[in-house]
Amino acid sequence: MSAHSLLENGAVDLQGRPSSSPREAFSSPRPRPPTVLYSTGNQGTRSRLARRKRPVSTMLSGEITKPWVGKKDRAARISYFLTYSMLLLGVVAAAFRCFNGWRSVSLIGSLCPVLEDDFNGSDIDPSVWMREVDLGGYGNGEFEMTTASLNNSFVRNGQLYIVPTLTSDVIGREAIFNGYTYNLTGCTNTNLTACGAVSNFTAGTVINPVMSARISTKGKRSIRYGKVEVRAKLPRGDWIWPAIWMLPENNTYGPWPLSGEIDIMEARGNGPEYPAQGVNYVRGSLNWGPLTWLNAVSKTYGWWSVRRSTYADQFHTFALEWTEDFLRVYVDNRLQHMLDLRFDIPFFERGKFPTSVANASQEIILPNPWAGRGNSAPFDQPFYLILDVAVGGTNGWFPDGAGDKPWLNGANDAMQLFAQAQDKWSQTWPTSEEDRALKIDYVKMWELC
């Protein structure tokens, strides 16, 4: 009888045993020993499979050690206490430092607007700005001439462009080196030597190989204590020198640097690989000193940099905050300050100048030009704003031995050497004015009310 028919007749249960009732076969199975399985081989013989073994339960025997319910180790308790005490102390110290830093930040007072220009006209506003025209190097031995040409400074799409160009594109390459007399149209310098040049290769004199622009608010807008904001995108290209800076309106204490200079932003157009801080760095500084050749800028300067980017990639805001108690220069926000200086001691004392200096064959007493004028002197007078793009120079902004520099700062023919290397450095200058220009989005100036 088949298993199926047996189940229907209630003769056997699921294990093949007789069942007392038809329903019993469908009830819960009774406890039974492990099933013995068989398999039929090809020869018709049955081989018995190994009986499955149940896992043997193991029990802990004897006395069980429970160290966590006993007395705690003293060293462990001390370690626990010290760890959490140091964590708590660190949190308290960090909170105190943040609070003290917030409380110590000097804030500028009420401000009254002096200038706000977003360059939405067809050209710069002559009631606010002037183009300085000069080829004398501005005391830095710069290699560019600044012009009033719209090739070098113009307004486009609500932005001011200051663009360096090659002089050879105007007068030819050979004229730069020999036998050419160049007179600068509209020269604003009263010194005629800064208004023209004659090229003579034998004498080492050349026509400035670059044309650029310098725009200022001189004689039009200035502030004595206040705030300045300039949103700008910097140019790229070897030996290009963009700057946003300020000079005193009246030189109260004498010629530069006696009356001071405020550099809100200076940079170099050289690439990030340049070893003396390229276009991924910006610097802020104060220039000051009791003699024309004694400048203490090294005691009041600083910088800020960006990673995986440069200041020629996008616009940044360069700012100055200035009172009789402090001066702060920063980029984008106060946390990114290049210079944060408290006027807590007089500048003559800050400079640690000698009591006497050599003058020819004799020693003379070095006077304090700011004596009795307070701790902020010489930065206690009206300053005007300058926007410019210089190129090269011999004042040390581009130090000797840094990069593939084609001239020496002390050489009499430095500009000639630079001009001779034009084919090399000009290749690093972008052909697009968008990338070669100092682009200014807006300028804002306020004075303390």
- For 335-371, what is each residue's pLDDT tens digit? 999 999 999 999 999 999 998 988 777 888 999 999 9
Domain contains 93: no
Instruction: Please check the confidence at residue 265 and state whether its pLDDT lies above 80.
Output: yes
Q: How many domains, the chain?
A: 2
Residues 384-406: what's their mean pLDDT? 97
304 and 185 within one domain:
yes
Nearest to 316, CA basis, from 244, 262, 383: 244
Does residue 301 contact residue 267 with C-beta atoms inside 8 Å? no
Predicted pLDDT of residue 364: 87
Where do we find the tokens 């009310």? 449
Domain contains 347: yes
The two tokens of residue 373 are 């004028």
Prediction pTM value: 0.79
Q: Which residues partner with 166 through β-bridges?
A: 210
167 and 33 within one domain:
no
CA dist 192 and 211 (Å) reads 18
The two tokens of residue 100 are 């003290």
Domain contains 345: yes
Domain contains 79: no
Residues 93-104: what's their mean pLDDT? 76
Instruction: Please check the confidence at residue 389 and state whether its pLDDT lies above 50.
Output: yes
123 and 38 within one domain:
no
Question: What is the rounded end-to-end Cα distance, in angstroms, of the chain?
Answer: 116
Domain contains 80: no
142 and 38 within one domain:
no
At residue 281 the predicted structure's pLDDT band, cuts being 50, 70 and 90, is very high
At residue 440 the predicted structure's pLDDT band, cuts being 50, 70 and 90, is very high
Instruction: Please check the confidence at residue 10 and state whether its pLDDT lies above 50.
Output: no
Instruction: Please check the confidence at residue 37 and state whether its pLDDT lies above 50.
Output: no
Instruction: Please check the confidence at residue 169 and state whether its pLDDT lies above 60.
Output: yes
Predicted pLDDT of residue 2: 46
143 and 28 within one domain:
no
33 and 158 within one domain:
no
215 vs 38, higher pLDDT:
215
Predicted pLDDT of residue 109: 84
Residues 23-49: what's their mean pLDDT? 49
438 and 310 within one domain:
yes
Q: What is the CATH number of the domain that holds 279?
A: 2.60.120.200
435 and 321 within one domain:
yes
Least confident segment among 114-118, 289-293, 388-392: 289-293
Predicted pLDDT of residue 73: 73
Domain contains 184: yes
126 and 26 within one domain:
no
At residue 15 the predicted structure's pLDDT band, cuts being 50, 70 and 90, is very low
pLDDT tens figures, 150-163: 999 999 999 999 99
377 and 274 within one domain:
yes
Domain that holds residue 8: 3-43
Q: What is the 3-state secondary structure (H, E, C) of the chain?
A: CCHHHHHHHCCECCCCCECCCHHHHHCCCCCCCCCCCEEECCCCCEEECCCCCCCCCCCCCCCCCCHHHCCCCHHHHHHHHHHHHHHHHHHHHHHHHHHHHHHHCCCCCCEEEEEEECCCCCCCCCCCCEECCECCCCCCCCCEEECCCCCCEEEECCEEEECCEECHHHHCHHHHHCCEEEECCCCCCCCHHHCEEEEECCCCECCCCEEECEEECCCCCEECCEEEEEEEECCCCCCEEEEEEEEECCCCCCCCCCCCEEEEEECCCCCCCCCCCCCCEEEEEEECCCECCECCHHHCEEEEECCCCCCCCCCEEEEEEECCCEEEEEECCHHHEEEEEECCCCHHHHHCCCCEEEECCEEEECCCCCCCCCCCCCCCCCEEEEEEEEECCCCCCCCCCCCCCCCCCCCCCHHHHHHHCHHHHHHHCCCCHHHHCEEEEEEEEEEEC
Percent of the chain clearing pLDDT 90 (strictly above): 73
At residue 56 the predicted structure's pLDDT band, cuts being 50, 70 and 90, is low
pLDDT tens figures, 99-147: 776 666 677 889 999 999 999 999 999 999 999 999 999 999 999 999 9
Least confident segment among 58-62, 147-151, 215-219, 355-359: 58-62
Domain contains 224: yes
Angle at the Cα of 252 from the Cα atoms of 250 and 255, rounded to 5 degrees: 85
Predicted pLDDT of residue 105: 66
Domain contains 108: no
Across the chain, mean pLDDT equals: 88
